[in-house]
A and B are shown apart, each in its own frame.
Chain A
């Protein structure tokens, strides 16, 4: 599959990444190689096979809907890059 500049731009948006010129050329080449390698799966007939998302799909481990952790606010706020009181501080998100 041909990796175009448009596709790289699109993947950058989805991934929230900006690439340098050198990175961009690198990804165009290696993503192309890797996707080609992945296409090996097309050799297999998988019609009617159910997708397996998880090793044990039939099992789900439920627990009671109970609060077990205490008030962790300060503990979590101290590792924030920037805070204002009890809030995470970020750049303007809406005009």
Chain B
């Protein structure tokens, strides 16, 4: 019974609680016990998934009791009342630590909640802990965390992806019903692909970044990692919306995604008739794209054709330039954003001869290798003498990439592409070669550079029986249509129903 509960979607769990089949404290206990069993294993143990950086057991149980009272009195009847959630460690919460998986923030407890956390709380969800990530979200494998690597629940010898690897692993392993992550260059979508989950990188500006530790401010968005599209749509409708504390917010109100949530009840022959899906054929000819990932995308294309969509094969130019552009822009913004970690007001402080020496020592001891590498890269591309040749150049190429996507999306409604060139790879497989690691983001970074929304959803399994996702990219603020297109796929397939345990 306990294991079965952990396989259910957030929506199903919410319904069981609302229908009084099970109480919120009972649900919380089941998920917490599973999470605790893993959390208590020795760091570095081969069978430890290590999804969490902090478990908030006491808070979660207290909160579940509160929610249960509200349910009994009919005060709180949100579809997600009592549903257990895990929050990425770079999203500020007043309960539990928020460290961005860095030593420089070891033990840090935020004095305020992020806007997305406030919104989730209002919807009645129960946070059970903070989840592991690549340090400051810089990485694609959760191997750069100061708190140890996270293992992939589908195969413990492999990475869960990243940077939201703890978010993905916690959901795939049944430690939480859904999770929040952040996506700067693919950090929600790629872990979803590696863990058989459905995730969304929403339109830039649709979800408040207030309380998200800044990495690449013009690229970062928070989004959900869930078992299916219905859950992802529900979470997105909760967390999206206006917030005056984020000057880049573009919303007047939250996304209205009821049509997606109820999509599964409608049955129609050729439901996608009239929809144009573009498949960039050059994306499938890239070096390094695994054969079974390519086959999976072609099968998805055929499935969409069966559903009535018109498939348009076309060339989407500039893909070879997306990763270098992304690297320059993200490193520049990161070097600036991470200048705040100096050991003065919060976080780790090292000793030194004078104040300047304290800055140097705090940062040198507090940051890990990948973070230092990117700060130095960012300092380089912004430094006088190199600014025009690197940073300005990248901003111009960014404009060209945006033009290419705008043009493509003027002819098709949705673009179908791989998420990542490969299945989840072995731990240690890429970490020593930064460029190989960066190239894993080749299909995802353009979406952040352009601000467009994209969904990553289960599309099949590899020869090694590991999950493979596909990506659907839509027009600005077209989340309703985009998630509807994803929902039609999940109506006729059952990949998303498979679990790692």
Contact = CB atoms under 8 A, between A and B. Distances in A.
- Residue of A7, A16, A35, A80 with most partner-chain B CB within 10 A: A16
Interface in B80-95: none
A67 interface: no
Contact of A81 (B205, B250, B349): B349
Interface size band for A? 35 or more
Interface in A18-53: 18-19, 23, 26-27, 30-31, 33-35, 37-38, 40-44, 46, 49-53
A11 B385 CA distance: 13
B380 A46 contact: no
B22 interface: no
Contact of B377 (A31, A56, A63, A81): A31
Nearest to B372: A17
A82 interface: yes
- Residue of A26, A51, A82 with most partner-chain B CB within 10 A: A51
Contacts, number: 162
B435 A34 contact: yes
A79 B109 contact: yes
Contact of A31 (B358, B359, B380, B400): B380
A53 B396 contact: no
Contact of B373 (A10, A27, A93): A27
B345 A38 contact: no
B345 A17 contact: no
Given A41-B321, A42-B393, A55 B218 contact: yes
A11 B327 contact: no
B345 A51 contact: no
B138 interface: no
B169 to A, nearest CB: 28
Interface of A: 7, 10-12, 14-19, 23, 26-27, 30-31, 33-35, 37-38, 40-44, 46, 49-56, 59-63, 72, 75-76, 79-82, 88, 90-93
13 contacts: A14-B383, A18-B361, A34-B377, A38-B324, A38-B381, A51-B398, A52-B398, A54-B248, A63-B244, A82-B349, A88-B345, A90-B355, A90-B358
Interface of B: 108-109, 111, 204-205, 218, 244, 246-250, 318, 320-321, 324-325, 327-328, 335, 339, 342-349, 352-361, 363-364, 367, 369, 372-373, 375-377, 379-381, 383, 390, 392-400, 402, 434-435, 438, 450-451
Q: Which 3 A-B pairs have the closest CB atoms?
A: A55-B451, A51-B395, A46-B396
